[in-house]
Structure 1
Amino acid sequence: MTAAPETPASEFARLSRAEHDDPFAVLGPQGHGDARVVTAYDPGAAQLSAVTDGALYPLEPVPGAEGIFRGSVPGEGAYHLRGEAGEATWEVEDPYRFGPVLGEIDEYLLGEGSHQRLWEALGAHVMVHEGTPGTHFAVWAPNARRVSVVGNFNWWDGRRHPMRRRGATGVWEIFLPGVGEGAHYRYEILGPDGQLQPRKADPVGFGSEHPPANASVVRDIRGYGWSDDAWIETRASHHDRAAPISVYEVHLPSWRRKENRRPISYVEAAEELVSYVKDMGFTHIELMPISEYPFDGSWGYQPIGLFAPTIRHGTPHEFRDLVNAAHRAGLGVILDWVPGHFPTDAHGLGRFDGTALYEHADPREGFHHDWNTLIYNYGRAEVANYLTANALYWLEEFHADGLRVDAVASMLYRDYSRREGEWVPNKDGGRENYEAISVLQRTNTAAYGTHPGILTMAEESTSWPGVSRPVDQGGLGFGYKWNMGWMNDTLEYIRRDPIYRGYHHHQMTFGLVYAFSENFVLPISHDEVVHGKGSMLGKMPGDDWERFANLRAYYGFMWGHPGKKLLFMGQEFAQGHEWNHDAEIDWNCLSDPRHEGMRLLVRDLNHLYRDTPALHVKDCDEEGFQWIGGGDSRNSVFSWLRKGGPGDPEVAVICNFTPAEQNGYRIGLPAAGRWREALNTDAGIYGGGNRGNMGAVEAEAIASHGLPASAALTLPPLSAIYLVRDTA
């Protein structure tokens, strides 16, 4: 029989002061059989007893240690505690009688910083442990003296549930019986200097309170009934470079508002958003960050709960409803992912255990002046693991089809937006952030390796080489890169008065110099319609008719240009005012035929793009593009051919960016015969003047532009025309 060890009075005092770093060495059962002694803590109890096999064993108060009770409880079976105070009595399980949940493999992977399924070890997990239902809590805080779970189940009292330290891993854990779905909690941490830290939300928590409240919420994320197998099995074909990819970017809180201006729910979006995007012909929905964030004005780009779908729209299972519905409709779902920085809010990751844990201690490496945010310490194995595992979490648990990584340039360069002396060079004296590069490469390798068929996209605003090149070929490993240069140049051009456009013709053609150096997406994103930049319609010069015609022609240029497509919500119907994240987009303007015409144009562009192989099969291949007339700056006309695979009819795209109709404008074509006018942005249904070529042109065997045939066209003012070779 093993006797219970003697416990010095100082250990009890440390417990009652909530300073003990090894509470399981004192609390709970010690010893075995008839020598078993139980020590329990309950500051609200006047008397405390242990109950086992129907027998009551009173525990005696420990002198000098308020709330601590101790006594013999023979046997080795389970017991629970019974407390009394006045006329009140209560019975609870003793969390300190339960053994650890994390196993040796978890401990090894956590210590090594290589736990790809980190969310299965850390966070709050509803489970049955040793035959008892409850929740297991685990958190990484290696420099803490003491970590406690506090919540609405223990009066937010850090003395009640200090956690078990798991050796050198820096992880603390505890199983709390009786705590389940919906419980609110935080971590109370005593820092290495003995100072109590602000209460922290769970870095791997699956749920949160409604902002501005910020406690974590226990969510059971197991057991969702997915019905998207058909999509998952075929999605690789939807993400290939040869596939049509047209993305509808959505800020869910302002896409639709419901009664009392509340944001649309995930469940409502599963019906309304999915059906709208499907009808519009887009192939993917890209959601601006939905991982939990405290400040609405950040649009989600300053997240704190990286593992929690924001409660603004519903619970984790309800978010799965949205993804599942999209997949069943044949739509992919891309999530904006933000590994570049995090906010300084007291309940977040900053100085999490009283030290610079997730971030750099040196502000020259660890602070973004542009955004007043903290930068991850990418060189720390556990932090790199945290980010990589988070990416895999969204792909695994929520069936996300891809991640669009925000602000990649800010990660790649140590001197990003910094003056001389405000940054720390790398080990070779350069500006490249080797550690961040490694995290991006590691994440892309893991994402594509564990979830074949997904895609990743980089918002990278510089000319960093090989962004969409595989890692084993020296690249960053992304599937696609946003073409920010194309976006900036073409928007500068289109907002000019047409009388001056001839002097800036190169802004529309320069993108073709590098168009095939990466797998590019052409983005007109939320960034182009905020902070005083106005709406897309507001950028256009001229009177009302010219503004709409300019925008129609620009979209025609964009959809005919090599590269995948992305358009931010509201721009598909030419919303008149700048995007406001606090209100829904201006659906009311669709009662105006000009706005409805724009919506119909974008819908038809999407369907033409998807249904016409020459417009997408070689989006990322220089063999799929050929200039017809890219140099007519005097008339501001651009014309080119798009080519698909063998047997796919060529498409000629002709854009006139002057407000003058041009008659008899001859362009070269690769073959004589009938060329169908598949789309004309000046069509009356789109709000145009119905000028054009009566549905088709007959190309003659008259050489022009280095091609064997040609046709004389009518080019409506401010228009784009698509001609498809009739091979019948």
Structure 2
Amino acid sequence: MTPPLSVRWIGDTDAWLLAEGKHLRPWQKLGAHPVTLDGRDGVAFAVWAPNARQVLLLGDFNGWQAQPLALLPGCGVWEVFVPGAAVGHWYKFAVEGADGVWRHKTDPCARETELPPGNAARVCEPLRPPPATGAPAPTDRAPMAIYEVHVGSWRRPGGPHTLPTWDDLARELVPYAAGLGFTHLELLPVSEHPFYGSWGYQPTGLYAPTARYGRPDGFRRFVDAAHAAGLKIILDWVPAHFPADEHALARFDGTALYEHADPREGFHRDWNTLIYNWGRHEVRNYLVGNALFWIEQYGIDGLRVDAVASMLYRDYSRPAGEWVPNKDGGRENYEAIAFLREVHEVLQREAPQAVTIAEESTAFPRVTGAVADGGLGFDHKWNMGWMHDTLAYFAEDPVHRRWHHQRMTFSMMYAWSEDYVLPLSHDEVVHGKGSLLGKMAGDPWQQRANLRALYAWMYAHPGKKLLFMGAELAQPTEWNHDAELPWHLLGDPAHAGVQALVRDLNRLYRERPALHARDTDPHSFQWLVVDDADQSVLAFMRWGHRREDSTVVIANLTPVVREGYRIGLPHEGHWLECLNTDSAHYGGGNVGNGGSLQAEPQALHGQAWSAPLTLPPLGVIWLRPQ
């Protein structure tokens, strides 16, 4: 039995803040913390379990013998200080629930855990102090080209059955992504999760980087390596739901503590997971604190919030009569909306440099609007409509594309309603959907040409960019999380050419201010050719702040070469063909305009100048003034 302390680990102020759900950094008190109390070195343990009858601590520091924790009145937190316990020791909680059932539980605030079936938590080094001041908020004028990665299946240097370590990824993934010109790495969730096949989207340890890839200090080295290479790190973050594994959050104290008791509110049929009770302020505090934790403790640059649509609507994926309306009888989830706004209020105050991105697939208004103006506060939102329409178009045989022309133009009807990211993500290459290359119409040559055109169209279209790993290889097969990417494809010039195109697209996207500097300004975009459905030709202008920044984009989405196709141009003089997806360098047929052309004083498409072009088959070209 531990002797009583004259000084508690959790003082009255912290206890009150935890009870009210207002503790800005709850992880500073909950969990396991190496400290000195009453002149003794040891570890303070604290866990929230308000309805538990008893909570016991088990660890290798006491031979896994039960040691009771004391309940702090009013806040539902149990605590104990163990002299002699230290960094590196393993521990669990044994919780006698309100239902009289004993359960072994992993610490919800553990910063390192072991994989199943052990599920113990490890005492970690003391926390880093919060930064004195936050860095300035990012600007929408900066380019954002995201390489989305599942770290377990990107590359496996230890062999096909060995997962990479964070140090492997720092050595290989970081220079690879930086060398291709991406600005950001987005990692599928790295919080601890019991089932590898969930790709991290069913996390149980929100504060712990998964042990599959090494220790937390290895993850920190990876983040530091990315920053040193000029890459920013975005983490997929999952505050929508959690799995029902008994060792984790489910019925933590014998009651529905983190989740809703009513399955109509607390159970996801699609994923067989439990839904957080965002109306409970302690649960909200746990999650809001977690968002800040990754940014402050690991230097993460942003969070992509998963499954936002499932949070916003009480009837999400539920038939009539099997969901609970809000207090006004509607379907909107007021508690989830309040939670998302609180996350952004805290981050904008404490970590304004961090960006947030919503995976939100509905027309919910003002997802990227400011909280003060009634929005949810996200910086960006995935443009799922653009993705669905564009992929559906490219799947059509070119002979039929004239009847689907509007799929390529409709996105400009709403492009300015939110601050969008254009995602060609992991979701499009799983569950029998095949690969991006496999979605393209035509024979193998036409499929690769279509894929190159798709990428050039995306990089020129308003919105930030996201490509899932393997897209740059023109991977012909669906993504397999149990194997590394098919790197051998780079031995084929046709596939290496697609990778070369992605590298050049990233470079030109960063170099051409017209393609990013006014991304949310409707005056930065102008259609030149929008109605030539019969020939499946589209052309538009992207305007920068200066005349020389302007970029003209022309797409010919049939396999027919168009000779002498005249396009209106905004300036006189010499224009350079700065990109041609049919270049032999990318695996194309080298049809084009010899690298440059001269504007002629012949008005067309609302412009005073124009020029006749040769449009390559299933190709996209970019022009810029010399």
Query: What TM-score do the two structures reach when normalised by structure 1?
Result: 0.84
* Contact kept? 2:303, 2:355, Cα under 8 Å: yes
Offset at residue 555 of structure 1 (A): 0.4
Map 1:3-402 → 2, pairs under 5 A: 40=1, 94-96=2-4, 99-158=7-66, 161-196=67-102, 198-222=103-127, 236=137, 239-260=138-159, 261-402=161-302
Paired amino acid for 2:70 = R
Query: Closer, same or farther in 2 for the Cα pair 1:223/1:113, shift >3 Å?
Result: closer
Aligned pairs, number: 625
Offset at residue 507 of structure 1 (A): 0.5
Q: Is 1:720 equivalent to 2:620 in the alignment?
A: yes
Map 1:215-614 → 2, pairs under 5 A: 215-222=120-127, 236=137, 239-260=138-159, 261-614=161-514
Paired amino acid for 2:190 = I
Offset at residue 527 of structure 1 (A): 0.2
Q: What RMSD in Å do the two structures reach over aligned CA positions?
A: 1.7
Paired amino acid for 2:223 = V
1:503-539 superposed Cα distances (whole Å, 9 cap, x missing partner): 0000010000000110000000000000000111111
Offset at residue 170 of structure 1 (A): 0.1
Paired amino acid for 2:335 = E
Offset at residue 178 of structure 1 (A): 1.6
Query: Closer, same or farther in 2 for the Cα pair 1:221/1:508, shift >3 Å?
Result: farther
Distance 2:117 2:482 in 1: 15
Q: 2:543 aligns with which of 624, 643, 646?
A: 643
1:323-379 superposed Cα distances (whole Å, 9 cap, x missing partner): 111111111110100000000001111100000000000000000000000000000
Residue aligned with 1:551, SS: helix
Offset at residue 157 of structure 1 (A): 3.3
Q: Which of 487-496 and 253-262 deviates more?
A: 253-262
1:455-486 superposed Cα distances (whole Å, 9 cap, x missing partner): 10000000001000000001000000000000
Matched with 2:577 is 677
Residue aligned with 1:608, SS: helix
Matched with 1:692 is 592
Offset at residue 192 of structure 1 (A): 1.8
Q: Which of 489-498 and 99-108 deviates more?
A: 99-108
Offset at residue 182 of structure 1 (A): 2.2
Distance 1:194 1:601 in 2: 62
Larger relative CO (CA 8 A, sep 6+): 1 or 2?
2
Residue aligned with 2:549, SS: coil
Distance 1:442 1:592 in 2: 50
* Contact kept? 2:54, 2:96, Cα under 8 Å: yes
Structure 2: gaps spanning 5 or more residues: none
Query: What TM-score do the two structures reach when normalised by structure 2?
Result: 0.97
Distance 2:354 2:525 in 1: 27
Offset at residue 222 of structure 1 (A): 3.5
* Contact kept? 1:448, 1:455, Cα under 8 Å: no
Distance 1:387 1:110 in 2: 13
Paired amino acid for 2:112 = G
Distance 1:224 1:473 in 2: 33
Offset at residue 179 of structure 1 (A): 1.6
Distance 2:350 2:284 in 1: 17
Q: Is 1:711 equivalent to 2:618 in the alignment?
A: no
Distance 2:274 2:485 in 1: 31
Larger radius of gyration: 1
Paired amino acid for 2:532 = D
Distance 1:565 1:433 in 2: 30
* Contact kept? 2:548, 2:624, Cα under 8 Å: no
Distance 1:124 1:219 in 2: 8
Distance 1:646 1:637 in 2: 27
* Contact kept? 1:221, 1:317, Cα under 8 Å: no
Distance 2:537 2:18 in 1: 60
Offset at residue 154 of structure 1 (A): 3.0
Offset at residue 233 of structure 1 (A): 5.0
Q: Which of 206-215 and 669-678 deviates more?
A: 206-215
* Contact kept? 1:344, 1:350, Cα under 8 Å: yes
1:217-237 superposed Cα distances (whole Å, 9 cap, x missing partner): 2222536999xx99x857x4x
Distance 1:294 1:455 in 2: 28
* Contact kept? 2:359, 2:382, Cα under 8 Å: yes
Offset at residue 618 of structure 1 (A): 1.1
Structure 1: gaps spanning 5 or more residues: 1-39, 41-93
Offset at residue 542 of structure 1 (A): 1.2
* Contact kept? 1:541, 1:547, Cα under 8 Å: yes
Distance 1:587 1:675 in 2: 37
Q: Which of 404-413 and 579-588 deviates more?
A: 579-588
Distance 1:698 1:126 in 2: 71
* Contact kept? 1:523, 1:567, Cα under 8 Å: yes
Distance 2:624 2:143 in 1: 17
Query: Closer, same or farther in 2 for the Cα pair 1:509/1:305, shift >3 Å?
Result: same
Residue aligned with 2:105, SS: coil
Matched with 1:615 is 515
Distance 1:166 1:572 in 2: 55
Offset at residue 691 of structure 1 (A): 1.1
Paired amino acid for 1:252 = V
* Contact kept? 2:548, 2:625, Cα under 8 Å: no
Residue aligned with 2:261, SS: coil
1:61-114 superposed Cα distances (whole Å, 9 cap, x missing partner): xxxxxxxxxxxxxxxxxxxxxxxxxxxxxxxxx454564211121111011111
Paired amino acid for 1:560 = A
* Contact kept? 1:414, 1:423, Cα under 8 Å: yes
Q: Which of 706-715 and 602-611 deviates more?
A: 706-715
Distance 1:207 1:554 in 2: 42
* Contact kept? 2:100, 2:254, Cα under 8 Å: no
Distance 1:393 1:709 in 2: 55
Q: 1:655 aligns with which of 555, 567, 580?
A: 555
Residue aligned with 1:168, SS: coil
Paired amino acid for 1:247 = I
